[in-house]
């Protein structure tokens, strides 16, 4: 890993985090229910993007740096945009308001739909060639 890789990861991570924060704000302005729609949509769209871009540019899932694409966009932007920590905090809050079943359902739904989105993104890139 070179200093250039570190710069791409940092720059991408900063931009991705800003995108997450602003997207969450926009969704939060329009939706006021208990289900964490903002984090859910952010994570699912990020999962779609990583599947699509990884297959389109033939990046192995273990290759996290070396080019501007994998360090800046995949590791940086998408890693900064999507969040595991907020998903878990959302789940704890949901458990407090609605109980354990909705919280567990939210986590499982996030992972299932996220995996489908990533697989769909990859399939789309394969069809495109």
Partner 1 sequence: MVNIVILVFVGGALGAMLREFSMLMVPNLADNFPLDILVANLMAAFLLGLVTALHRRQIASEGAEMLIGTGIAGGLSTFSSFVYGAVVLMSASTASAVVASVYVVISLVLGYIAVTVGLRLGGQGSAPM
36 binds partner 1 (CB under 8 A): no
Would you tell me how many other CB atoms lie within 10 Å of the CB of residue 22? 10
Would you tell me how many other CB atoms lie within 10 Å of the CB of residue 51? 23
Whichever of 26 and 88 has its CB closer to partner 1, that residue is: 88
Site string for partner 1, 40-79 (x = CB under 8 A): ---x--xx-xxx--x------x--xx--------xxx-xx
Q: Report which DSSP code applies to 58.
A: T
Contact between 10 and 71 under an 8 Å Cβ cutoff? The reply is: no
Distance of CA 25 to the CA centre of its chain: 16
Which residues make up the interface to partner 1 (CB under 8 A)? 1, 5-6, 9-18, 20-21, 43, 46-47, 49-51, 54, 61, 64-65, 74-76, 78-89, 91-92, 96, 107-108, 110-111, 114-115, 117-119, 122
């Amino acid at each position: 890993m070179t200093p250039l890789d570190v710069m791409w990861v940092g720059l991408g991570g900063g931009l991705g985090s800003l995108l997450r924060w602003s997207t969450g704000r926009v969704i939060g302005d329009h939706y006021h229910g208990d289900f964490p729609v903002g984090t859910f949509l952010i994570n699912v769209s990020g999962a779609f993007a990583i599947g699509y871009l990884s297959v389109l540019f033939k990046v192995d899932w273990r290759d996290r740096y070396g080019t501007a694409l994998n360090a800046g966009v995949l590791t940086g932007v998408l890693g900064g945009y999507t969040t595991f920590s907020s998903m878990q905090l959302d789940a704890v809050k949901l458990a407090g308001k609605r109980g354990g079943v909705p919280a567990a359902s939210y986590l499982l739904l996030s992972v299932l739909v996220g995996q489908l989105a990533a697989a769909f993104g990859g399939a789309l890139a394969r069809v495109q060639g």
